[in-house]
């Protein structure tokens, strides 16, 4: 799994000091971006090679409110990969307490058309998530 750490900012909360639900998608995207960056394949490199990572579907189950100034981590796991699509699962926690669970499903496009996942990206993801040392951590 990949760990991404972050702190809730005031502007991400509503009038009650609770993180607005729309921010969870942003948190998952940040974690996913940092994962790819840590593997040496940031979005900027993919885009530089003419590829785009496209979100096909996503979901989130909100278990307990996330509050202003709480430090949290997101555990990211690869849950599926084939020739054209890949999916991640996310567990957002404060300490050992689960606050949300989510998923995203993606494909890669080039010039607006779905293409096979570049072999280098596919191999990196499979190797990282199946290897004996499959733990990296990033902190914002």
Residues with active-site annotation? 14
Within the chain, residue ranges assigned H as helices are 22-38, 43-48, 119-130
Which residues make beta-bridge pairs with 25?
A: none
Taking the C-alpha atoms of residue 13 and residue 69, their distance in angstroms, rounded to an integer, is 10
Cα–Cα distances in Å, from 115 out to 46, 47, 54, 61? 13, 14, 11, 30
Tokens of 12: 């991400």
């Amino acid at each position: 799994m990949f760990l991404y750490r972050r702190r809730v900012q005031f502007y991400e909360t509503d009038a009650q000091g609770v993180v607005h639900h729309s921010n969870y998608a942003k948190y998952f995207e940040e974690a996913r971006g940092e994962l790819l960056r840590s593997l040496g394949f940031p979005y900027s490199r993919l885009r530089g090679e003419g590829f785009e990572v496209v979100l096909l579907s996503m979901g989130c189950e909100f278990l307990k409110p996330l509050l202003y100034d709480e430090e949290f981590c997101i555990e990211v796991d690869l849950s599926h990969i084939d020739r054209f699509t890949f999916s991640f699962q996310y567990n957002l926690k404060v300490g050992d307490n689960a606050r949300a669970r989510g998923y995203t499903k993606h494909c890669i496009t080039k010039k607006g058309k779905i293409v096979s996942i570049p072999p280098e990206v596919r191999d990196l993801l499979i190797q990282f998530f199946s290897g004996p040392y499959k733990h990296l951590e990033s902190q914002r």
